[in-house]
Amino acid sequence: MEVVDSVDLTGRTCVITGASTGLGRESARALATAGAHVILAARNMQALQDAQQWIMAGRPDARTSLVALDLTSLASVRAAAAVLADLAPTIDVLMNNAGVMFTPFSRTSDGFEIQLGTNHLGHFELTRLLRPQLAGARVVMLSSDGHHMSDIDLDDPNWERRDYDKFAAYGASKTANVLHMVELNRRYADDGVHAVAVHPGVVGTSLARHMTREDFGALQAMAADNRDRGAMLDTILTPERGAATQVWAATTAELDGAGSVYLADCAIRSDVAAYAMDGGRAARLWEISETLSG
């Protein structure tokens, strides 16, 4: 809320995926309170209605709309995009925020590994379909410092030829979010689209719903060789504080012309993995994603 303290978003339209809880819901509250028409998209309509009520409890005249979206189904993504075409002829902010983490192995209804399918491929298709409405838009990709856990295997993105590793699969999907930003900035530059990637911090949300105590210990061990990241695991932010960087990323003019950047703590961060910013790999992931999403 402090980030939008003196920001007026009247007349702007923002679409947020995964806005039923956690960081997406907090971002929706901030952007709607600043006057934007905020479209909350997620798969649980009751939870979306609860989020809408919660936002309106703080600002009764907040303008919000709800759209059903299940990123594990390309049919649902296409249906949501069709609804959004009517609801939002122009989109000023697209926040690709929804996500799952460390899920047991499973596949989406289109056969994609569930973390890549939800976190990247569903958003890839949604963003592609919304292109006509995105001229001049800021696209905010929720990545994570978890991208340091793994590059994406472009020869086996859907874990068809390897034993599944839920940590590496999350890392790969969050690397894909950064690569998506890089290639989106190249391909949609003529439309004035500007994509940025965000690490929100380590935030106490339901994202950790699939984590066991052992998983948390394993993560701390992985972070042990990096004092900064290890320390970060001890600092759990509230969703309101965690949402600050993505709300800043969506609204600040300070990032105009900044190109592909990785953000944390409301600032540009340099410690993004080189493999996540590689233009050649970004182009290849785009082509693979296009092929997979048909």
Ligand X SMILES: NC(=O)c1ccc[n+]([C@@H]2O[C@H](COP(=O)([O-])OP(=O)(O)OC[C@H]3O[C@@H](n4cnc5c(N)ncnc54)[C@H](OP(=O)(O)O)[C@@H]3O)[C@@H](O)[C@H]2O)c1
- CB of 63 closer than 8 Å to CB of 55: no
Window contacting ligand X (CB under 6 A); options: 41-49, 148-156, 259-267, 277-285: 41-49
Among 98, 139, 264, 276, binds ligand X (CB under 6 A): 98
What is the token pair recorded at 74?
A: 């390309």
Among 13, 52, 97, 158, binds ligand X (CB under 6 A): 97
Q: How far is the CB of 215 from ligand X (least distance, A)?
A: 13
Q: How far is the CB of 8 from ligand X (least distance, A)?
A: 26
Among 203, 247, 250, 276, binds ligand X (CB under 6 A): 203
Number of residues this chain uses to bind ligand X (CB under 6 A) = 31
35 binds ligand X (CB under 6 A): no
> Which is closer to ligand X, CB of 218 or CB of 283?
218
Among 20, 185, 251, 260, binds ligand X (CB under 6 A): 20
171 binds ligand X (CB under 6 A): no
Among 33, 52, 115, 118, binds ligand X (CB under 6 A): 118
Q: How far is the CB of 107 from ligand X (least distance, A)?
A: 12
Considering the candidates 170, 188, 262, 275, report the single residue annotated as catalytic.
170
Q: How far is the CB of 192 from ligand X (least distance, A)?
A: 25
* DSSP codes of every residue in the chain: --TTTT---TT-EEEEETTTSHHHHHHHHHHHHTT-EEEEEES-HHHHHHHHHHHHHH-TT-EEEEEE--TT-HHHHHHHHHHHHHH-SS-SEEEE-----SPPS-B-TTS-BHHHIIIIIHHHHHHHHTGGG-TT-EEEEE--GGGGG----TTSTT-SSS---HHHHHHHHHHHHHHHHHHHHHHSGGGT-EEEEE---SB-SGGGGG--HHHHHHHHHHHTT-HHHHHHTT-PBPHHHHTHHHHHHHH-GGGTT--S-EEETTEEES---GGGS-HHHHHHHHHHHHHHT-
User: Is 170 tagged catalytic?
Assistant: yes
In the chain, the N- to C-terminal Cα span, in Å, equals: 40
What is the token pair recorded at 216?
A: 């948390």
Among 33, 127, 144, 150, binds ligand X (CB under 6 A): 144
100 binds ligand X (CB under 6 A): yes
Among 94, 202, 264, 277, binds ligand X (CB under 6 A): 202
> Which is closer to ligand X, CB of 142 or CB of 285?
142
- Which residues contribute to the site for ligand X (CB under 6 A)? 17-18, 20-24, 42-44, 47, 69-72, 97-101, 118-119, 142, 144, 199-200, 202-203, 205-207
